[in-house]
Amino acid sequence: MGLPPIRPRERGTRSNRGSQGDEADRLLRSVSASLRRRLRFVLPARAFQKQASGALVLLSIVGAMAAEPALEFRAATPMVNGEFQLQLAAPAGNFFRIQASRDLFQWENLVTGRSAGLNSYMDTAAPFLETRFYRGYRLEETNVLTGDHLATDDGDMVIHPINHATFVLGWNDRMIYVDPVGGSTPFLGLAKADLILVTHSHSDHFSSDTIDAVRGSNAVIVAPSAVYSGLKASLKSLAVVMANGAATNLVGLNVAAAPAYNLSSSFHARGVGNGYVLTIGGCRLYVAGDTEDIPEMRAQTNIAIAWLPMNSPYTMTVSQAVSAVRAFRPRIVYPYHYRNQNGSYTDRESFKSQVIQNPGVEVRLPSWY
């Protein structure tokens, strides 16, 4: 069936959205029988829930799937911080997508997943929106990139964590691999890379063999000079060496190399490794690399998503990361690279609880390990 169009998310804070309860009531009254038929919703009575603040939440499954294996929202639990924990039941192995809307006409993709049976998703954008409607549906495709979505000016980008410092971005049939390591196994089922970004030469970020295994036939590798020196001879012709401050256009997007270094130790010397700022569909994305809370990080502007490392003494402490976020205020933050040398993990929940005390920054905590 044809679904209503998706538009980029408009953001704000609760203080400037008007009367939340009145808006929810207006939307509820506007859901006429004809609109329900047009959108082909299944609307069980238990689909309507109220937050303590009064915002209306509509849980629905696109009705065209009625003859197929059932998908069902089991719960939408409001969190103290205003986020919503969604639970969607779907047959194991099926691909599904959850969308959200504020008006039942314009929808945005939140997440694409492969069902484990009962699936949980935290809507971290809910605190910024007075009214939130959700729907879910099964995807027909059998090879889908799963992960959170970000709406850009030129289509959605999907964020797919792999492990530790490694992740994949999918956008407009392009695959961007960041610090791929671990051989081919972690990337089974994924399309080959069109662009590979390597931040520095440490083994948890750089593996020449892995790059060779995941690259597409026309892939471009972006790396600092120390990484270039460690590439297989057959890969060097595919590489673009970038130093801090350099920028170029590759595979239809802009790539800028940012400084990444330690202030309080010598684990990562200044000028050796890179962070990266990508501009994709009008959205600026900041991959910090292995770094502390450096002035160049705090000076970043207009960042849609930031990936920030937290495992002191190699990168940042929680307090350093919180301070940095408060300085450059990305729209969305993914704490990553948070495993410590002794196998423990930095407290991401502490990071999140401190960041969201200052409204306007969304913190997402998918599993990286």
Q: pLDDT confidence of 59, banded at 50, 70, 90? A: low
More confident residue, 12 or 46: 12
End-to-end CA separation in angstroms for the chain: 37
Structural domain 14-144, CATH architecture:
Single Sheet (2.20)
pLDDT given at position 33: 47
Handedness of CA 287, 291, 293, 294 (dihedral sign): negative
Question: Is pLDDT above 60 for 117?
Answer: yes
In this prediction, residues 13-26 reach a mean pLDDT of 46
The H or E element spanning position 208 is helix 208-214
What are the tens digits of pLDDT across the range 225-275? 999 999 999 999 999 999 999 999 999 999 999 999 999 999 999 999 999
Q: pLDDT confidence of 93, banded at 50, 70, 90? A: very high
pLDDT given at position 47: 39
Please state which CATH class domain 148-363 belongs to: alpha beta
pLDDT given at position 14: 38
pLDDT given at position 37: 39
The residue extents of the domains of the chain are: 14-144, 148-363
Q: What 3-state DSSP class applies to 35?
A: helix
Q: By mean pLDDT, which of 5-19, 24-38, 143-157 is the weakest?
A: 5-19
The tokens of 67 are what? 């003859």
pLDDT given at position 39: 38
In this prediction, residues 141-164 reach a mean pLDDT of 96
Q: What 3-state DSSP class applies to 185?
A: helix
Query: What's the rounded Cα separation, in Å, for the pair 114 and 199?
Result: 30
More confident residue, 144 or 26: 144
In this prediction, residues 100-122 reach a mean pLDDT of 94
